[in-house]
Each structure stands twice: as C-alpha cells, then as structure tokens.
Amino acid sequence: MERFFHLRELGTTVKTEVLAGITTFLTMVYIIIVNPAILSAAGVPFEQVFTATIVAAVIGTLIMGIFAKYPIAIAPGMGMNAYFASVVATHGVSYQVVFGTVFVAGVIFLLLTLTKFRETLIQSIPNSLKYGITSGIGLFIAFIGLRMAEIVVANPENLVTLGDLSNPVTLLSILGLFITLLLMARKIKGALFLGMLVTAVIGYFMGLLHFDGVVSAPPSIVLFDLDIAGVFTHALYTVVFAFLLVTIFDTTGTMIGIAEQAGLMKDGKFPRAKPALMADAVATTVGATMGTSPSSAYVESSSGVAAGGRSGLTAVVVAVLFIGALFFSPVVAAISALPAITAPVLIIVGCFMMEGLAKISWKDFDEAFPAFAIILTMPLTSSIATGIAVGFIMYPIIKLVSGKGKEVHPILYTFGVIFAIQMAFFPAH
C-alpha cells in the first residue's frame, strides 16, 4: 500500500491518510442528505437520489484515488442540484428529461477528457489566476462554515450580519472552533478530526446530537429511466451547455486549488491530469443513469489535505466511508444534521488556503486585479464557477489593454468570450 500510493515519497503515512480521509468525509457527507432533499423537491424519489449520490461519489472518488492518486473526493456538486430543480420548474419538463441533459453533458464531458483539452486548459491558466482560485475557494468554504454555524446570518440591509451568539448551535460551533484551534496550535496530528470528535461528544451532551437508530438496510440500486430524446424535442441545448460549462470549470478550479494546497503541482502543471479529470466525468455520466445531478471535485477535500492527506489513499478511504454510509444512514444523518461539528473545520481550512496570496505579484495590476476579482466573487456569489468566469474574462481584457496581449494563451481569449456570453444570456444559477 505504501509503495502503490508513494506514501514515503510524499512524506505521509497510512495513519495520516486514513485520518485525512475521515476528515474529508465528515466535512462533505452532508451531500447525501442535502442532494436528495433538493432533487426530491423536483419530484425525484428521495431514496433513489440518496443511493445515486453515494454510488456517483464512490465511483468518482475511487477513480481519483486509485488511478490519479490524488487526495480529492468526487460527489454530486452543490449548485448544480439547485439548477437542476430550477430547470424542472421553469422549463415545464419532467425530471427524466433533465436527467437526459445531465447524461448528454456527461458524455460530452467524457469525450473532452479523452482529448488534451482539459489538460491544455489547466496549463494555460496563469499562476496569478491559480493562486486566486485557491484563495477564493478558501474564502468561499470559510464563508460556508460561518453560515452553517450561523455566526453570520442574512440581513436585508447589508446582506450579512453577525448572528445570535447565544444560539446553542452557534455557541457549540464557536466552542468547537476554539478547541480545534487549540489542537492545531499544539501541532497535534489529526487535530481537525479530533476537533470534530470532541465537538460531537459535547453536542451529544448538550442535547443537540440525536441518533434515530444506527444501522439500516441500504436502498436498492436501480438504473434510472432517462429521457434523452426529450432533450432534443424540447431543444434544451443551453441547459446541456450550462451543465457542461459550469461542471468543467467548477471541478477544474477545485482540483487546481487543492493540488496547489497539497503541494502536488509540478512547475505549474497538474501531473496525472487525465485520470483525475476522468473521475468527475465518469461520475457525472453514471450518476445521471441512476438519478443524480452532475458530479464535481469537492472543495471540502481541502480539509483532508489540511489534515495531512497527500495521496490517493485519502480518496480511497473517503470512498469506503461513502459505501459504509449506505448502511449507517441514521448515524450519518445525525452528524450531518449538526453543522457545528463540521463548520469549524471549514473556517480553519479557509485560512490555510490563503497562502497563495503571498505568491501573487500585487504590484503588477494586470496580474493582481483578475486574481482579486476571483477572490472577491467566489464567496459573494457562493459559486466557484462564477469566480473563475470573472477571472477568465478580466485577465485577457486587462492584459490586452496593457499591451501584453501576446502573453495570454489563446484558449483564455476563447473562454473569456464564452464566459461573457454564458453569464449574460444563460447563467447557470
């Protein structure tokens, strides 16, 4: 196992990788509850989505761990599930037809992955944008953690404001944050996971963590009834394009950010890119046949990287735990229902991901502002894809007017135009 995953070369151990896998799983397991809840509102059977979500996560994450050997987890993405539900509502079509659009997008996704397109895309992204993406994701997931803990809440006058700190869940989140920070400051291995464990125990005695059973039989696994013909009958081409475009850039940006955080990028390049990019493409295609929205790389994987995960073994552990979740859905539901357990981890990891800011040349405005735009946009729009789009639009424009247009890779000009059109005429959210 050590030799297969090159653990010694990466400066990690089996124990560290297992702890990192558990940490990643606990920070992203909410998807097996949230995804069925969102898609069932569009008429899809809850248990069908529950099973499909886990199967897609297991397939994608195993491909990532075994073939690409990265500590990155794959699962149906947040945002795309909400878009799925909105398509059903606004286009007046059945969810089977919308699953058809997901399948078509997935097949195109696979074909693009078999070419060098996505690899070329990653290599064409300048370092300032890569660091901006990493830092933007950091702020984004920290903001998610703050919202989950209700440390910040919605406010009609200025969008957000400080929440009620006497709220039991908020209080537990803050306590969990300080406990985890204490463990981190003492440089205790597995501090993030131990912090969640201690927070869960405290939550149980506070009466906030409730278990309705432990083990349950997994729902049956069946293939879904897709309506691919309906995609063309209803001319849902823009929906296919939106699924494809957002998934490509969401997952590519996340992979770059996490690989950069883990120190796995080599001279600005992403080794073993093809199998890594194949993971989410296969998960999206298979997931559509079983009843779930497109899959993508999960930003929560950064919590596992922060816990020391550096190899594909971390991803394999995540996949195994997702399989286990099929049988322990009551326990998983209880833990994921208490945001105070995972929110502190997301806040702390957000700090770790800001390291790349020091590597951006802030004195060069044509490099600095596009990165700044990404960092600003991601948390404020709650969308990694939107942040990337803004950066891709800004970078070539500013370079061009600065007289440095030749420094920009042609693919950035192409996608700058595509993103501008996509955001103006058929935004995905």
Residues 429, 83 contacting (CB under 8 angstroms) = yes
Residues 193, 302: one domain?
A: yes
Residue 178 pLDDT exceeds 70: yes
Position with higher pLDDT, 36 vs 401: 401
- How would residue 429 be classed by pLDDT, with cut points 50, 70 and 90? very low
- Min mean pLDDT across 43-47, 50-54, 321-325, 329-333 is at 329-333
For the record, the structure tokens of 204 come out as 């149980």
Last residue of a domain, one of 352, 376, 404: 352
Average pLDDT over residues 390-403: 94
Q: How many domains does the chain have?
A: 2
Is the same domain home to 323 and 407? no
Residue 216 burial (C-beta neighbours within 10 Å; 0-12, 13-18, 19+)? middle
Confidence at residue 426, expressed as pLDDT on a 0 to 100 scale: 62
Beta bridge partners of 76: 295
Nearest alpha-carbon partner for 201 in 303, 300, 321, 340: 340
Nearest to 343 by CA among 171, 155, 177, 98: 177
Residue 204: per-residue pLDDT: 92
**Confidence (pLDDT) at 319:** 97
Angle, nearest 10°, between helix axes 410-425 and 384-401?
Answer: 130
**Residue 47 covered by a domain:** yes
Tell which of 352, 387, 412 closes a domain: 352
**Residue 295 shares a structural domain with residue 395:** no
Separation CA 416–CA 187 (nearest Å):
43
The pLDDT score that the predictor gives to residue 214 is 81
Query: Residue 215: is its pLDDT beyond 90?
Result: no
Task: Judge whether residue 79 has pLDDT over 80.
Answer: no
Global pTM reads: 0.76
Can you tell me the distance from the alpha carbon of 31 to that of 21, in angstroms, rounded to the nearest whole number? Answer: 16
User: What single letter denotes the amino acid at residue 59?
Assistant: I
To the nearest 10 degrees (0 to 180), the angle between helices 117-124 and 95-114 is 70
Q: What average pLDDT does range 207-228 have in this prediction? A: 81
Domain boundary (352, 367, 391) is at 352
Select from 417, 413, 412 the least CA-distant residue to 125. 412
Q: Is residue 373 part of a domain?
A: yes
pLDDT, the chain, mean = 88
Residues 368, 308 within the same domain: no
6 found inside a domain:
no
- State whether 378 and 256 are in the same domain: no
Looking at the structure, tell me whether residues 242 and 293 fall in a common domain.
Answer: yes
Q: Are 53 and 292 in contact (CB under 8 A)?
A: yes
**360 and 348 in a common domain:** no
What mean pLDDT is predicted for residues 162-176? 95
pLDDT at 76 over 90: yes
Strand 152-155 versus strand 159-162 pairing type: antiparallel
Decide: 312 and 104 in contact? Cβ < 8 Å.
no
Name 74's bridge partners.
297
Between the alpha carbon of residue 70 and those of residues 140, 256, 300, 310, 392, the distances in Å are 22, 11, 14, 7, 26
Examine the pLDDT at 428 and tell me if it is beyond 70: no
Q: Within a domain: residue 3?
A: no
Residue-wise pLDDT tens digits, 255-306: 888 988 888 887 777 888 888 889 989 999 999 999 999 999 998 899 899 8
Question: Stretch 364-369: mean pLDDT, rounded?
Answer: 95
The answer to whether residue 7 sits within a structural domain is no
| Residue with the larger pLDDT of the pair 189 and 135 | 135
Question: Quick one: 365 and 308 in the same domain?
Answer: no
Predicted local confidence at residue 386, as pLDDT: 81
The answer to whether residue 306 sits within a structural domain is yes
C-beta atoms surrounding 197 within 10 Å:
15
Q: Are residues 196 and 66 in the same domain?
A: yes
Domain annotation covers residue 9: no
112/228 same-domain check: yes
In a domain, 197, yes or no: yes
Examine the domain organization and report whether 262 and 290 are in the same domain.
yes
Residue 420, pLDDT above cutoff 50: yes
Note the pLDDT of residue 57: 97
Radius of gyration of the chain (CA): 21
Average pLDDT over residues 353-376: 93
Same domain assignment for residues 345 and 365? no
Tell me which residue range forms the domain holding 369.
355-425
Could you read off the pLDDT of 105-124 as tens digits, one per residue?
999 988 888 888 777 777 78
The answer to whether 236 touches 97, Cβ cutoff 8 Å, is yes
